[in-house]
Each structure stands twice: as C-alpha cells, then as structure tokens.
A and B are shown apart, each in its own frame.
Chain A
Amino acid sequence: MGRLDTSGASGERAIMPVPLQIGLGAWITGVILAAFLWVPPAAGFAAPEAARIVVFHVPCAMVAVVAYLVSTAYAIAYLARRSASSDAKSAASAGLGFLFTVLATVTGMVFAQVQWGSAWNWDPRETSILMLMIVYAAYFALRGAIPGSVARARISASYNVLACLVMPYLVFVMPRLMGGLHPTGTLSGPGALSTEYRVVLACAMLGFVWLYVWMLRIQVRLAECEAARGRKKSV
C-alpha cells in the first residue's frame, strides 16, 4: 500500500478535505499572530507579556477534558456493541487527551514560573491536571500489560468508565475545597477579559478542537489500516 491518502481524491472516505486542512492551518496561524501582535499585555501581572500564554494554555486543558469524555463515550459504546473500531477510537482519543494534558501542564508551569516564580505549587488546578495525567498513565499501563486484543479492549474500557466516574471529584471538587494561586475569577468574571483576549481565546479553542478532531481521525484511520494489514498477514 502506498502513502495514506487523506484527501479523499482516490475515492476513499476523506479524513479531512484539503480545503478544511488549509483552512485549519490558516486559522491557527491567525490565532498565533493575534496572540502575539493584537492582544495587549495584561495589566497587573508580574510579567504582562507572558499572560498571552493563556490563549494556548486554556484550549489545551479544554481539549484534554473533551478528549477524555469522547474516550469514555467510545468505551461505553465498545462495551455495548463490541466493535473493534470503538475500542480503537477510545484508545486514540485517550492518547490525544494525554498529549494535550501534557501540553496544558507544561504551558501552565511555564506561566507559573514566569508569573509567580515557581513552576509547581500544588495549586488545586495544577493538582487536578496532575490527577488527570495519572489516570491516563494508568489507563495506558493497563492497556500495555494485557495480552490479547479483545481482553485488552474490554478491561481498559471498563477502567475508562470507572475512572470517569471518579474524575469529577478529582478535577472539579478538589479545586473548590482548597484556595490557590490560580487566578480564580479572572477568567470567568464579567469584564475580566478584554475583548481582544476573549475573541482570540474563543478562536483558539475552536482551532484546537478542530485540530484534535483531525488528529483523532488520522489515528483511527491508522489503527484501521494496521488492523487490516494484521488480518491480511495472518491469512
């Protein structure tokens, strides 16, 4: 088989049509430029220029949570219908979620270092993203350790659902139980964001979700091809 055809030109179902691919590239470029050139440095911060990172940090965290929810949805679908593609999608989404979680953590640490002088403070939001990473890591450890693709799919899907049940406590309740350095109220309060920040942040969120969807489709197509090749080999 030659190069993976992603544009749909050869008649195979497109992962993402070329116009949309180009559109995404232009969109993200626009967001990056806007973040550095259009958005003003934020008043009141120790490093006003560094506040721009919020435009990248928040969408990463958001996509991480969305990816996890998608992963759990496919896990439930797998348990209900036992289709291998549901399991592939569940694992792929979890993998991307892990990537975005790491990105969110790193951008958060960079900002914390510049703004407050220390990269890690056990601030509740920081703690909860660490919890998310631990759950993802446990999920992949479990997947890696179980021989046999059917057993692996079943058991990791079960763990996925169980972890999702406990997730709201780890991610939402813990921040509320403690105070913290995280600028509470600066994002959700009215007027806390100037229009420029609001616009760029919204665009960034859209762009990141779009990017995630594309990456997910590539991963799933890759898994399908590998499964098909594995089947052909064994015949």
Chain B
Amino acid sequence: MSAVELAGSDAETTAKPAWAAFARSAWAVLAKDARCELRTRHALGAVLLFAVTSTVAVSFTLTAWGSKGPVAAALVWLVIYFSAMSGLSRVFVREQETHTAPLLRLAAPPNAVYLGKLAFNLALMLAIEVVTVPLFVLLMGCRVASWGSVICILIMGSLGLSVGATTSAAMVARARARGALYAAISFPLLIPVLAVAVLGTEAAMAGSSAVAQDLRLILYYVGAVLTASLMLFRFIWED
C-alpha cells in the first residue's frame, strides 16, 4: 500500500482528498520527470536529433515522390514512430537503472505513476512533432490543405502511440536486451494506431472530411487500451 493510501485511511472524511491526492501524485511524477529531463536534456536531445536527421535523410532522397499525400503521411509517421521507439522507454528504464523504482512504488499509487509517465511521454512526442512536422512539410514541399486537421490527427495519433508505448516500456524495464525487445513488443500494439494515423494524415493534408472518422477510430482505440493498461498496470509495476 502506498504512503498516500495509508495516510488517507478514513474513507468518509478523506473521500474527496483521495482523488485530489491521486491527481497530485500523478502530477508530481510528471513534474519530476520533466524537471530531470530539462536539467540534462539527454533524452530530448537524442530523440530530437534522431527525428531531425531522419527527416532530412528521407527528404533528401525522396523529394519528388515524398510530397504526394499518401507517401508523405506514411513517411512522417514512420519518422515519428521510430523516434518514439528510441525515446519513450526511458521513463521506466531510467527508474530501474538508477534504482529509484522501489521508492516510486512506495511514494505513489500505481495508476498515478502510469498516468504521470504517460503524460510525460505524450509531451515528449508532441515536442518532437512541433519540430519535425513543419521541417518535413518544408523540406518535402507538401501541400497542406488544413493545418487544424493535421494538428488534430497528430495529437490523437501521438496519444494512441503513447498509451501503447508507455505500457510496453513498463514491461521491458526489468528485461534484458531492452532496446530491440521494446520495439518488438510495441509493434503489434501500435500497428492499429499507425495505420489509422497515416490514413488520417493523408486525409487531413488533402482537406477531406474523412479525417473525422480516423480521429474517432483512434479515440476508441485509446479508450480500450488505456482502460486495459490501467487495469493491468498494477500487475506490471508491482515488485
């Protein structure tokens, strides 16, 4: 039982504070990770470098064909996906490597940890996209009909990828050969999001209203997988 739960043992009078305490824990986890990251900028730097290099490499070789809708959408999401695979596992792996995981288990309820880490990963992905996507559009010479739709699909897609990627990160934290294993086990979980996000981005760039359907599909995926992850996380996280 976490310290927070022990402290709030009287159900009646602490019912409201219990939810607030949960939210505070999740926020604290996010804030700690953000603070650490901004201090050293290791992960952010490495992942951004990867994303930018891939974008430049891709546009260098594919300018003529890459500006076409389907190809551009697929390429931009590939770059985002591989950047995610290289950077999103850090949230849990670093806890394990620096031996701070046991303390974290005591300090916050499991789902608060999960939600805090999820929020961090989502923020990381959005930070990458803010840099990568405009660069990609510029270098490839893509025509974007509706930036609003593109932003929506990027946010939804990132949320979808983050949910699956964060749960997988927790699973590989204690495994050997983490890097390759992480990509391998995340892949089946993330294909649905990737496929729909590419289609949605293609639709958004063309200005078609079909993007609404893709947004809904990713939303349902997030609903299902997030609920499942919240139910399973305590099993993955426990000592």
Contact = CB atoms under 8 A, between A and B. Distances in A.
A94 B175 CA distance: 20
In this complex, the interface size class of chain B, counting residues with CB under 8 Å from chain A, is 20 to 34
A28 interface: no
Contacts of A159: 171, 185
Interface of B: 167, 171-172, 174-177, 181, 184-185, 187-189, 191-192, 224-225, 228-229, 232, 235-236, 238
A155 B189 CA distance: 15
A165 B176 contact: no
B188 A138 contact: yes
A78 to B, nearest CB: 9
Contacts of B181: 141-142, 145
A158 B236 contact: yes
Interface residues of A, number: 26
A225 interface: no
Contacts of A137: 184
B99 to A, nearest CB: 16
A20 interface: no
A154 B229 CA distance: 14
A135 B185 CA distance: 7
In terms of DSSP, what is the predominant structure of the interface of chain B?
helix
Interface in A95-151: 131, 134-135, 137-139, 141-142, 145-148, 151
**DSSP class of A's interface residues: helix, strand, loop or mixed?**
helix
A79 interface: yes
Given A138-B187, A155-B236, A162-B167, 5 more contacts: A138-B185, A154-B236, A155-B235, A170-B188, A170-B191
B42 to A, nearest CB: 24
A154 B238 contact: yes
A141 B185 contact: yes
B201 to A, nearest CB: 18
Nearest to A157: B235
